[in-house]
C-alpha cells in the first residue's frame, strides 16, 4: 500500500523534489525478526529466513547483543521497510560488504584525517568560540598525548599545520583493524571530521553525545548566533543516528 503521507502534495518545492527522488519502499513481508548462532557469528532471521546484504551476504554480527540490536531495527519497521530508519543495518551492510574485504584502504582513509584533524585547528576569535573549542577539544588532545603517545601540534585558523611524523605514526597504530571496529571508527571519523574523536570514542574516553558535541562546536556556535535551519537540523539528526549506530557497534564489541 502506498504511503499516504507521500500522496499529499507538499508546499515546499525542495520537499517535493526529495519525495519524488525517494525510491519506493518495500512492504514488510515478515512477522518477526530474531537471531540464530551461525558458526562464530549471530545471524538475523526474518521468520527463519536469512537476511541478505546488498552484495548477497548473510546479515550477521560477531556478538549476540549487536545482532539483537539489528533484529530490533527490523522489528521496529511498520507497514514498509524504510532503510532511512535503520542506521545500524546500513552500517552492518557496509562493514560486511565493504570493510571486511578491504580493511587496509579503509584504515588509510582514517589515517588521512589525522594529518589535519578537526580538533587541532582553533579559532583565534571570537573569544567565546575559542573557549568552547578548548573546553571540548583540549581533553581529546590530552587523550592523544597521554594514552596514544601522540604529541600533536595546534594551529590557529585554516593554515595547515604539519604534524610530527612520530605523532602520526603512533596515532595511526591505534586505528583498529578488525572490520567491525574499523568500520565504526571510519563512520565516526567521516561524520565528525576527526579521527581523534573516533579513537577517543573507541577507547571509551568519550560517549556518543560527547563525541557529537565535540564535532559540532563551530556549528553549534553559529546556530546560537544566527538561528536554526530546519532542513539542516533534519540532516544533522540523520547523521547523529549514524554516529549512535557506530557507537553501539563499538560498545557491543
Residue ranges of domains in the chain: 4-84, 103-252
CB 210 within 8 A of CB 240: no
**For residues 29 and 65, what is the distance between their CA atoms, to the nearest angstrom?**
24
Q: Report the CATH fold assignment for 4-84.
A: ATP12-like (3.30.2180)
The set of cell numbers assigned to 133 is 573549542
**For residues 95 and 15, what is the distance between their CA atoms, to the nearest angstrom?**
31
4-84 against 103-252: fold identical? no
Question: What pLDDT, on the 0 to 100 scale, is given for residue 115?
Answer: 95
**For residues 189 and 196, what is the distance between their CA atoms, to the nearest angstrom?**
8
**Could you give phi then psi for residue 37, rounded to 5 degrees?**
-80, 130
% of the chain with per-residue pLDDT over 90: 83
Residues in the chain where the model's pLDDT stays below 50: 1-18, 20
Question: What pLDDT, on the 0 to 100 scale, is given for residue 60?
Answer: 98
How many angstroms separate the Cα of 5 from the Cα of each of 24, 101, 106, 133? 13, 40, 39, 41
pLDDT digits (tens, 9 = 90+) for 134-157: 999 999 999 999 999 999 999 998
Q: Sign of the CA dihedral 105, 241, 15, 53?
A: positive
Question: What pLDDT, on the 0 to 100 scale, is given for residue 16?
Answer: 47
Helices (H), 95-150: 103-114, 127-143
Q: Report the CATH fold assignment for 103-252.
A: ATP12-like fold (1.10.3580)
pLDDT digits (tens, 9 = 90+) for 1-29: 333 333 333 444 444 444 545 578 999 99
Amino acid at each position: 500500500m502506498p504511503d499516504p503521507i507521500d500522496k499529499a502534495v507538499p508546499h515546499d518545492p525542495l520537499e517535493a523534489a526529495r519525495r519524488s527522488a525517494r525510491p519506493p519502499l518495500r512492504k514488510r513481508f515478515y512477522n518477526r525478526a530474531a537471531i540464530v548462532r551461525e558458526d562464530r557469528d549471530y545471524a538475523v532471521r526474518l521468520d527463519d529466513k536469512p537476511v541478505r546484504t546488498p552484495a548477497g551476504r548473510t546479515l550477521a554480527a560477531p556478538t549476540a547483543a549487536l545482532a539483537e540490536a539489528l533484529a530490533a531495527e527490523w522489528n521496529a519497521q511498520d507497514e514498509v521497510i524504510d532503510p532511512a530508519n535503520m542506521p545500524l543495518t546500513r552500517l552492518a551492510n557496509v562493514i560486511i560488504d565493504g570493510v571486511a574485504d578491504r580493511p587496509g584502504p579503509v584504515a588509510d582513509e582514517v589515517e588521512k584525517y589525522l594529518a589535519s584533524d578537526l580538533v587541532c585547528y582553533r579559532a583565534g576569535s571570537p573569544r567565546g568560540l575559542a573557549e568552547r573549542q578548548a573546553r571540548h577539544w583540549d581533553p581529546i588532545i590530552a587523550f592523544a598525548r597521554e594514552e596514544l603517545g601522540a604529541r600533536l601540534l595546534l594551529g590557529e585558523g585554516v593554515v595547515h599545520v604539519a604534524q610530527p611524523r612520530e605523532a602520526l605514526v603512533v596515532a595511526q597504530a591505534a586505528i583498529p583493524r578488525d572490520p567491525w571496529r574499523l568500520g565504526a571508527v571510519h563512520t565516526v571519523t567521516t561524520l565528525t571530521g576527526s579521527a581523534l574523536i573516533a579513537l577517543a570514542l573507541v577507547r571509551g574516553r568519550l560517549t556518543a553525545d560527547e563525541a557529537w558535541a565535540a564535532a559540532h562546536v563551530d556549528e553549534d556556535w553559529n546556530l546560537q548566533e544566527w538561528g536554526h535551519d530546519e532542513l539542516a537540523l533534519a540532516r544533522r539528526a540523520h547523521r547523529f543516528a549514524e554516529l549512535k549506530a557506530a557507537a553501539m557497534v563499538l560498545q557491543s564489541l
